[in-house]
């Protein structure tokens, strides 16, 4: 699901396909903010790095924006399902994976490092591939529009059939939906 498709789904969710309550620009802003959320990432793997005990830092592979784990395989082959190395042996500092001086005792020189990470998705070029991620972005985009509606009502003194308490209740309900979708996303992300 690309950005425009998530916008269409959000329009259906908030009941504003005709741009009556929100302008197209406001909806794009709310949805872009949702896409830029730190949970909107794709799980990626990289095996382009080879460990050398004399090198203590490696640049994070360009295929990812965050590192979740570093793995090795006993046979140095991905067919053996690489196992994670202890997190105390490595850390991420300023875009580099830093290994502790004792890492060479666990990781043999010449071994392939299997890096599990996340790639931040770009609304202009990427798609949301999982249902959980799609639901999260749509719910968060809807939640963001309600924040805008509160500002509109407060700043423009809108008079309509909706009371501020109704907006607050609706916003609270959508916030719960976002939290639930985020929790599912977290479980889905950690399971991979």
**Distance of alpha carbon 150 from alpha carbon 162, whole angstroms:** 11
pLDDT band for 48, please (50, 70, 90 cuts): very high
- State the average pLDDT over residues 60-88: 90
Please tell me what DSSP assigns to residue 36.
Answer: T
- For the whole model, what pTM was predicted? 0.69
Report pLDDT digits (tens) over 88-110: 999 999 999 999 999 999 999 99
pLDDT reported for residue 154: 62
Report pLDDT digits (tens) over 105-157: 999 999 999 999 999 999 999 999 999 999 999 999 999 998 888 777 765 65
pLDDT of 2 above 90: yes
CA distances from 126 to 22, 30, 36, 97 (A): 25, 17, 12, 26
**Distance of alpha carbon 192 from alpha carbon 181, whole angstroms:** 17
Q: What is the mean pLDDT of the chain?
A: 88
User: What are the contacts of 62-66 at 24+ separation with CB within 8 A?
Assistant: 63/117, 63/119, 64/115, 64/117, 64/118, 64/119, 65/41, 65/117, 65/118, 65/119, 65/120, 66/41, 66/92, 66/117, 66/118, 66/120
pLDDT reported for residue 159: 55
pLDDT of 166 above 90: no
- State the average pLDDT over residues 76-84: 85
């Amino acid at each position: 699901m690309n950005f425009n498709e998530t916008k269409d789904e959000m329009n259906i969710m908030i009941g504003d396909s005709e741009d009556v309550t929100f302008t197209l620009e406001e909806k794009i802003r709310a949805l872009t903010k949702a896409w830029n959320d730190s949970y909107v990432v794709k799980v990626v793997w990289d095996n382009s790095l080879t460990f050398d005990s004399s090198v203590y830092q490696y640049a994070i592979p360009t295929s990812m924006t965050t590192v979740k784990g570093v793995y090795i395989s006993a046979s140095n082959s991905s067919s053996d399902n690489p196992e994670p190395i202890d997190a105390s042996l490595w850390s991420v500092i300023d875009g580099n994976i830093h290994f502790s001086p004792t890492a060479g005792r666990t990781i043999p020189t010449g071994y392939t490092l299997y890096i599990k990470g996340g790639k931040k998705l770009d609304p202009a070029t990427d798609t949301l591939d999982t249902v959980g991620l799609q639901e999260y972005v749509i719910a968060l985009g809807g939640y963001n529009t309600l924040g805008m509606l509160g500002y509109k009502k407060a700043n423009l003194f809108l008079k309509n059939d909706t009371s501020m308490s109704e907006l607050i209740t609706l916003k609270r309900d959508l916030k719960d939906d976002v939290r639930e979708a985020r929790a599912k996303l977290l479980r889905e992300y950690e399971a991979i």
